[in-house]
Amino acid sequence: MPIYLDHHATTPVDPRVVDAMLPYFTQKFGNPGSTHVYGEQAREAVEAARETIARAIGAKPSEIVFTSGATESNNLAIRGVAERKRRRGDHLVSVKTEHPAVLDPLAQLAARGYEVTLLDVEPHGSPLAGMVSEEHFAESLRDETCLVSVMLANNEIGAVQPMAAISDDCKQYGVLLHSDATQAVGKLPVDVNELGVDLMSFTAHKLHGPKGVGALYMRRRDPVVRLQPQSIGGGQEQNRRSGTLNVPGIVGFAEAVRLAVESLDTEMARMAALRNRLASELLGALPGAQLVGPELDAEYVDGPLRLPNNLNVMFPGTDGEALMLAMPELAVSSGAACSSKSDEPSHVLQALGLSPDEARSCLRFGLGRYTTSDEIDHAVQLVTAAVSKVGSLMS
């Protein structure tokens, strides 16, 4: 199998997570809604998982709503709050580089008569490429703004947004702040109170947990977040999201979060070191290549400006798809997994000001728990050879 450097798309499940999940498929298979002992067993497991996950992000267990993943969490947060708060106002603010699981619900709301402001980000070439300007952000807020949604870390260029500053502005206007933290949880320290977010989406499969399970954090004090449920029926999750809970998935999600938090400091340093080596060797070997996204080692007071496991590089005069075909031994991505099937160049890269051709000549690298130093060395050789081959074919 090829070397896997596409951990922003998904991650392999940690075998310890699989072990934790297995009993919940067979012996402990109960429905947490049932009153008998099978149900009780399942319910206890779900509540223990809720507690672990809540503690990991500085939240209370009652503030965690389990969902099928970050797409559902984003939809629930955005549509749910916009529908519930329409009387306060129908203006929403977000950013051009968000994931489609945020942009598409916003577009749907716009089609229903809401007003949506999508902010620009700092352009390619700036050390802050991909960041929202705090000044522009503050200017976008109005009395009738009902929700702001800004992702914590970008899935293509790893840009980490200045959430605490954004939150301060939101508080001044009394506006709720949602953040898609899918790429950040398990990769960076994430605390809902330090970030000042009122709602936050995340998912298990980006942190060596199973696919199809995620969570939405919803603040329950100062302020109490209320939303219109998007899935109604059995009234699970305190009527916030109906549907029988994915018990094995939830147990695995909690174990994945626990493991990620346990090794967070060492893994952040290890990943940043490997990523920096990958970057410096690629940029050194290929003089035309350019770093895309924020500077690698820049820091806010409270953490890095870029995900430690993310790298995005432009290889001018090449095409990302052709590069990937020229190096089948390496699994990387020429855009986000959700959009790389479409022919459209990445909207994130275009928001940085890259032309469609430039955006098509970028590769995204995402490192993970099992990425080794040897794999990085090998990846450098594969990419360098592929760029020379494709570059000479295209020139």
Ligand X SMILES: Cc1ncc(COP(=O)(O)O)c(C=O)c1O
**Residue 203 binds to ligand X (criterion: CB under 6 A):** yes
Applying the rule CB under 6 A, the residues between 146 and 165 that interact with ligand X are 151, 155
Query: Measuring CA to CA, how many Å separate 156 from each of 191, 196, 391?
Result: 22, 24, 23
146 catalytic per annotation: no
Query: Residue 92, SS3?
Result: strand
| H or E element in which residue 45 lies | helix 37-56
Q: Answer yes or no: are the C-beta atoms of 79 and 228 closer than 8 Å.
A: yes
**Residue 387 binds to ligand X (criterion: CB under 6 A):** no
**Residue 230 binds to ligand X (criterion: CB under 6 A):** no
**Residue 366 binds to ligand X (criterion: CB under 6 A):** no
Q: Answer yes or no: are the C-beta atoms of 121 and 132 closer than 8 Å.
A: yes
Burial code (b: 16+ CB inside 10 Å, e: under 16) for 312-326 equals bbbbeebbbebbbeb
Q: With respect to ligand X, which residue has the nearer C-beta, 93 or 101?
A: 101
**Residue 71 binds to ligand X (criterion: CB under 6 A):** yes
Q: With respect to ligand X, which residue has the nearer C-beta, 153 or 387?
A: 153
Q: Answer yes or no: are the C-beta atoms of 217 and 64 closer than 8 Å.
A: yes
Minimum distance between the CB of residue 102 and ligand X, rounded to whole angstroms? 7
Q: Whose structure tokens read 């489609």?
A: 100
Task: Tell me which residue of 352, 13, 3 sits closest to 211, measured CA to CA.
Answer: 13
Tokens of 394: 């295209």
Applying the rule CB under 6 A, the residues between 288 and 347 that interact with ligand X are 337-338
**How many residues of this chain bind ligand X (CB under 6 A)?**
14
User: Given candidates 76, 101, 177, 376, which one binds ligand X under the rule CB under 6 A?
Assistant: 101
Stretch that binds ligand X, among 25-33, 86-94, 175-183, 241-249 (CB under 6 A): 175-183
Minimum distance between the CB of residue 340 and ligand X, rounded to whole angstroms? 11
Which residue's beta carbon is nearest to the bound ligand X?
Answer: 69
Pairing relationship of beta strands 64-67 and 145-149 according to DSSP bridges: unpaired
User: Given candidates 45, 70, 289, 386, which one binds ligand X under the rule CB under 6 A?
Assistant: 70
Positions touching ligand X (CB under 6 A) are 69-71, 99, 101, 151, 155, 180, 182-183, 203, 214, 337-338
Question: Which residues form the catalytic set?
Answer: 338
